[in-house]
Amino acid sequence: AQSVTQLDSHVSVSEGTPVLLRCNYSSSYSPSLFWYVQHPNKGLQLLLKYTSAATLVKGINGFEAEFKKSETSFHLTKPSAHMSDAAEYFCVVKGDYKLSFGAGTTVTVRA
Amino acid sequence: GAVVSQHPSRVICKSGTSVKIECRSLDFQATTMFWYRQFPKQSLMLMATSNEGSKATYEQGVEKDKFLINHASLTLSTLTVTSAHPEDSSFYICSAQTGGNSGNTIYFGEGSWLTVV
């Protein structure tokens, strides 16, 4: 069994300030973990993925995430938010072959 | 990078008719594709897993006779909503899984808005 919990349903930041999106997971397998971003009325775009290599993963658009097995966490960060980062973010875990999605975190960026 | 294409992006159909949505992996072969449904401001709900050359595996509560899935080739899966009703109106998203050196990454299509009137 596997599950994902995104700890914040909504995060609001000022442009130029750091962004932190929290994700905790549980999995019976050695999981693969992903972060996807979804802009309004669009599909999901892969930001980054962890697949048992380096625990600090760098993705597109300045995002990165750190896999912490002891904390079963995979938090997403970006040092400086941009207006275009306003979107819905999903943390996803893949155990055997199925994906489990978090409920999503809505990010708003204030000018 | 890998690209998954969905068509149509938006479709309006009359109640009682059927509509087909295509999902194509453009630059890789996908033995497994997934179909999701997303309600407004909610996460994705897995409907079924589509395996090339075999019958799709449906999630509990999803009517397989209503949501017909065909995975005829390694680059194409289709979802047909039969006898559509207004409650079937939703955002449908497919995904395709790569293999090999890319480590089984899953890429999503752009989604298809279905409106049943």
Q: Checking phi first, is residue A95 left (phi over 0); if not, alpha (psi -120 to 50) or beta? A: alpha
Three-state DSSP class for B100? helix
Give bridge partners of residue A79 from the DSSP assignment: none
Find the closest chain B residue to A48 by CA distance. B105
- The confidence band for B105, taking pLDDT boundaries of 50, 70 and 90, is confident
Closest partner residue to B106 (CB to CB) among A99, A103, A104 is A99
Looking at chain A, which residue has its C-alpha nearest residue B101? A51
Q: How far is CA A67 from CA A92, B53, B82, in A?
A: 13, 36, 43
pLDDT band at B67 (very low <50, low <70, confident <90, very high): very high
Q: What is the pLDDT of residues A30-72, one digit of tens each?
A: 788 999 999 887 888 999 999 877 899 999 999 999 999 999 9
Residues in chain A with CB shorter than 8 Å from the CB of B93 are: 43-44
Q: Which residues contact A48 (CB under 8 A, 6 or more apart)?
A: A34, A35, A57, A58, A59, A60, A63, A64, A65, A76
| pLDDT confidence of residue B17 | 97
Return the residue of B nearest to A43 by Cα.
B110
Chain B residues whose CB is inside 8 A of the A102 CB are: 43
Identify the bridge partners of residue B81 per DSSP, sorted by sequence position.
Answer: B19, B67
Cβ contacts (< 8 Å) between B95 and chain A: which residues?
44, 99
